[in-house]
Structures are given as C-alpha cells and as structure tokens.
Amino acid sequence: MPERIEPCLALLKAKPPKGDQWAYEIKWDGYRLAVHIEPTGVRIITRGGHDWTHRFPAIADAARSLGVSTAILDGEAVVLDEQGRSDFSGLQQSLGGRGGKTTSHEAIFMAFDLLYFDGHSFLETELTTRRHLLESLIDTTGVIRLSEEVDADGDALLRSACEHGLEGIIAKDRNSPYRSGRGGEWVKIKCILSESFAIVGYEQSMSARAGIGALLLAARHAGKLVYVGSVGTGFKEAATQQLREKLDRLETDKPAVDYAGRRKTIVWARPRLTAEIEFRAWTADGKLRHASYKGLRDKADQADIFEID
C-alpha cells in the first residue's frame, strides 16, 4: 500500500467539455485530502503531504467505521452552509485559521475517487470502475459522503450551479486512469473565478480594520512574481487582525514585484503568504477586476500561486 499518492488536479477551462466520455460533479471548495485506511489505523493526508488526522477527528472516526481493511479515498474536506454549499471561510474558521492548530468537528468529507482497495491499486483502472467500487462503499449521508455524479448536459449543469451560488463544476474523463498532476483528464469550470495569489504587501489605512486598506497581490510569470492588483473587500475583523500580525513578521524594504503606483502608504512583505481571491475578470493591463478576499491558504494545502501564461 503506497505511503502517499500525488493527487490528480483539474485543469481550468472556460466551458465544459463535450462528449459521452465526460462525467460531471459539483466542484467543492475546501481542502483536498486523501483518507488512508490501513491495518494499523487511519491517516488523513493533505495535498501537500502533511498528516492532518488529528485535525479531522470526525472524518477519521467515520473512516474507521466503513468496515474495510485497506483503502485510499480521494476527496475534499468541506463545511456546508445552510443551503448545503461548501463554505471555504467556514472551513478555515473551524480549523482556527491559516496555521491554526484546532480540530474541525464540523467538516465532512466528500469522496469522489477510490485509489486503493482491499490490497489492490486502482490507479491504472478507468474512472467508471473506480466510481462503481466507491459507490458500493459509501452513501450520500454521514460524515463521509459520496460526491455524486450528475447526469446532465455540461452547459446546463454549469448554469444551474451558478444560479445556486456554487463555485462551479468538474468534468472527468470516464475512461481515464488516475494520473497525478494536471494532465487534463479532469477539468474544472468555475462560475466565479477563484485563484491563489502571493501577498507582497498592503496599503495602510487609518480607518480600515487592522490598518489594512488593501492587500497587494502577485502571480507568477516566466519564473518571477508580477503584480496583478489589489484586494480591499471580503475581510472579516478577527481574521484580518491575525493577517496583520503575520504581515508584520514579514515586513521588508525590498518589494518582491515591480510596482509603479504610490509607495508612501505601502508596507512591503516577503511573499510567504498565499491568499485565495475571487474575481470577476482580468483587465486589459493584466490586473484583477472586482476582487474579493476569501482567506489564506495553509501551507499544508500546497495551493499553487496562479501562473500567467
């Protein structure tokens, strides 16, 4: 049984792919996890390879209750809001924020793949068979739930997901084996754009919470960080104070990006923090339009800083 399997990642596309080979699911907004059920116990591993079993005790207990000797489940830990939608901020709060040490008793695990079962690897088996076995193991209720396939036209499903305030949908090639990395076997289509960006500084404000008027953000391009604009909305008071404390420890005189704007009110920071940002579009000069702050990504989640083509 493998110690760890690098996850298969979805490739971002503007429209759902067409064809009978594509299966559709709702896109969950949480932390990607692999649940390892082993003869010696249960391990919950983050996308970055960190053991977070102690942080999701309810998911670990539910895994022990599945009644299987060996298995590796691929899925997403989420906290649901009152409408049943995944709430990334709610999940972060349940874990005590980025770098927090608290355990989440509210999180559930939406399982969408089975990579190993009963002493056998299924990495080379097509998705249809993996899903069939997964459906025989778990149901759609409880702490570990099945992320159901939706039998619908991709365009219609995306419209419905957006109308209900969901993040988007995932399309998966039914005939594909499980491949680590972003190879195109899985595709994500989002209602509202949401990506991870490096925080390179902030604009000071005497009236804003914790003195942060807006965060300055950067993406990667050709091996270096480039400035992509700022975000000044979406902050919550308690989390913003924690963010300010982290930024104070990263303060520097040397900007990590080229910046042509006003500098008097800017405090630069070493680019060690990654923020998840919602935005509507890109401007013609490569800046984020209508950006909103969702929260910090934890190091254990190993979120990629957005790469500009």
Assess whether 48 and 71 both reside in one domain: yes
Residues 156 and 177 in one domain: yes
Domain span at residue 65?
A: 11-190
- Please confirm, yes or no, whether 27 is among the known catalytic residues: yes
What pLDDT, on the 0 to 100 scale, is given for residue 264?
Answer: 77
Is position 309 within any domain? no
Residue by residue, pLDDT tens for the chain (309 residues) are 999 999 999 998 989 999 999 999 999 999 999 999 999 999 999 998 999 999 999 999 999 999 899 999 999 999 999 888 998 888 888 887 655 567 888 999 999 999 999 999 999 999 999 999 999 999 778 999 999 999 999 999 999 999 998 889 999 999 999 999 999 999 999 988 889 999 999 999 888 778 899 999 999 999 899 999 999 998 888 788 889 999 999 999 999 999 987 777 899 999 999 999 999 888 888 899 889 999 888 877 777 899 987
Say if CB 110 and CB 78 are below 8 A apart: yes
Cα–Cα distance for residue pair 191/160, rounded to 1 Å: 10
| Residue 183 and residue 293 in contact, taking contact as beta carbons nearer than 8 Å | no
**20, 35: one domain:** yes
Q: Which of 160, 190, 220 is the last residue of a domain?
A: 190
Residue 256: which CATH number? Answer: 2.40.50.140
Looking at the fold, whether 55 and 99 belong to one and the same domain comes out as yes
Are 262 and 136 in a shared domain? no
SS3 for 262-306 is CCCCEEEECCCCEEEEEECEECCCCCEECCEEEEECCHHHCCCCC
pLDDT, position 206: 83
Domain shared by 154 and 208, yes or no: no
Residue 65: predicted pLDDT = 93
Q: Is 81 domain-assigned?
A: yes
Q: What's this model's pTM, rounded to 2 decimal places? A: 0.77
Residues 171 and 202 occupy one common structural domain: no
Whether 181 and 225 share a structural domain: no
Total domain count for the chain? 2
- State the amino acid at position 32 in one-letter form: R
Give a yes or no: residue 52 inside a domain: yes
Shared domain check, 162 and 48: yes
Task: Give the pLDDT score at 140.
Answer: 74
**Same-domain status, 219 and 157:** no
Using the 3D structure, point to which of 190, 223, 246 is the last residue of a domain: 190
Cβ-contact 230, 217 below 8 angstroms: yes
Q: What is the pLDDT at residue 298?
A: 82
Question: Choosing from 13, 15, 18, 27, which is the catalytic residue?
Answer: 27
Of 280, 303, 286, nearest in space to 192 by CA: 280
Residue 155 has a pLDDT of 94
Query: What CATH number is given to the structural domain containing 104?
Result: 3.30.470.30
The answer on 204 and 184 residing in a single domain is no
Indicate if 213 and 182 belong to the same structural domain. Answer: no
Return the exposure string of 250-271: e unless at least 16 CB atoms fall within 10 Å of the residue's CB, then b: beeeebbbeeeeeeeebbbbbb
